[in-house]
Structure 1
Amino acid sequence: MVKPFNFSRLPAISFGPGKLKLLPDMIRQYGRNIVLVTGGSSFVNSSHYQSLIGAFNDAVIIFNHVTISTEPSPEIIDEAVGCLSALAADVVVSIGGGSVVDAGKAISAMLTVKDSVKCYLEGVGTKDHPGTRLPFIAVPTTAGTGSEATKNAVISDVGKVGFKKSLRHDNFVPDMAVIDPELTLSCPENITAASGMDCFTQLTEAFLSDRANEFTDAFALEGLKAVANSLVAVFEDGSNLEARSGMSFAALTSGICLANAGLGVVHGFASSAGGMFRIPHGMLCGTLMAVANEINVRELRRRNDNPTALRKYASLGRLFIDADAKPDDYFIDGFIRFLYEITDRFALPRLSEFGIARDDVGSVCSQTEIKNNPVKLGREELEEILVSRL
Structure 2
Amino acid sequence: MTINNQIFDFRMPGNVKIGANSFNTIHSDIEQFQPKNILLISDKGLQEAGVVEKIVHDLSRHNIPIQTFTDISGEPYFETLNLAIQFIKDNQSDLVIGIGGGSALDVAKAAACLANKEEDNITEILLGHSTPLSKGISCILLPTTSGTGSEVTMNAIFGDTSNGVKRGIVSPFYLPDVAIIDPILTLSCPAKVSAASGVDAFTHAIESYIAKKATPLTKLYAREAMVKFPANITKAVFNGSDLKAREEMCWVSFLAGVSLANAGVGAVHALAYPLGGKYHVPHGVANALLLPYVFKVIGKTCMEEMVHIANYLQLGDYTDNPHEALGKVVEYLFNLLKELGLPKTLKELNVNENDLEPMANEASKVIRLLENTPYELNKKEIHQIYINSFFGNE
Cα pair 2:113 2:173 within 8 Å, conserved: no
Cα pair 2:166 2:273 within 8 Å, conserved: yes
- Report the CA distance between 1:327 and its aligned residue: 2.9
Residue number in structure 2 paired with 1:378 = 378
Residue number in structure 1 paired with 2:112 = 108
1:241 has 2:243 as partner: yes
Residue number in structure 2 paired with 1:80 = 84
CA distance in 1, matches of 2:138, 2:41: 13
| More off after superposition, 186-195 vs 6-15 | 6-15
1:24 has 2:27 as partner: yes
Gaps of 5+ in 2: none
1:335-390 per-position Cα deviation (integer Å, ceiling 9, x unaligned): 11111101112222232344422211111111112121121122232112111222
Q: Kindly report which structure 2 residues correspond to 1:156-195, keeping only aligned pairs within 5 A, or say none.
A: 156-158=159-161, 161-195=163-197
Cα pair 1:24 1:55 within 8 Å, conserved: no
1:363 has 2:358 as partner: yes
- Report the CA distance between 1:310 and its aligned residue: 0.8
**Counterpart AA for 2:19:** G
CA distance in 2, matches of 1:238, 1:261: 31
CA distance in 2, matches of 1:90, 1:354: 41
Q: Kindly report which structure 2 residues correspond to 1:5-154, keeping only aligned pairs within 5 A, or say none.
A: 5-11=7-13, 12-32=15-35, 33-42=37-46, 45-46=49-50, 49=52, 51-67=54-70, 68-115=72-119, 117-121=122-126, 124-154=127-157
Q: Kindly report which structure 2 residues correspond to 1:262-341, keeping only aligned pairs within 5 A, or say none.
A: 262-297=264-299, 299-300=300-301, 309-323=302-316, 327-341=321-335
**Counterpart AA for 1:54:** H
1:253-280 per-position Cα deviation (integer Å, ceiling 9, x unaligned): 1221112111111101122332222110
Cα pair 2:74 2:282 within 8 Å, conserved: no
- Report the CA distance between 1:50 and its aligned residue: 5.4
**How many percent identity over aligned positions?**
27
Measured on the aligned residues, the alpha-carbon RMSD in Å equals: 2.1
**Counterpart AA for 2:24:** K
**Counterpart AA for 1:256:** V
Tell me the SS of whatever aligns to 2:108.
Answer: helix
Tell me the SS of whatever aligns to 2:179.
Answer: strand
Assess, with a 3 A threshold, how the Cα gap between structure 1 residues 127 and 220 changes in structure 2: closer, same or farther. Answer: closer
Tell me the SS of whatever aligns to 2:46.
Answer: coil
1:9-43 per-position Cα deviation (integer Å, ceiling 9, x unaligned): 32110100111111122122112421100111236
**Counterpart AA for 1:61:** I
1:269-296 per-position Cα deviation (integer Å, ceiling 9, x unaligned): 1223322221100000001111111122
CA distance in 1, matches of 2:298, 2:8: 26
CA distance in 2, matches of 1:38, 1:20: 15
1:39-81 per-position Cα deviation (integer Å, ceiling 9, x unaligned): 11236625x6555333312221321100022322122122222
Gaps of 5+ in 1: 301-308
Assess, with a 3 A threshold, how the Cα gap between structure 1 residues 43 and 225 changes in structure 2: closer, same or farther. Answer: farther
1:351 has 2:346 as partner: yes
CA distance in 2, matches of 1:348, 1:151: 28
Tell me the SS of whatever aligns to 2:76.
Answer: coil
Assess, with a 3 A threshold, how the Cα gap between structure 1 residues 43 and 86 changes in structure 2: closer, same or farther. Answer: closer
Alignment coverage as a number of residue pairs: 377
**Counterpart AA for 2:289:** T
| More off after superposition, 356-365 vs 4-13 | 4-13
Cα pair 2:204 2:260 within 8 Å, conserved: yes
Task: State TM-score, norm by structure 2.
Answer: 0.89
CA distance in 2, matches of 1:45, 1:18: 20
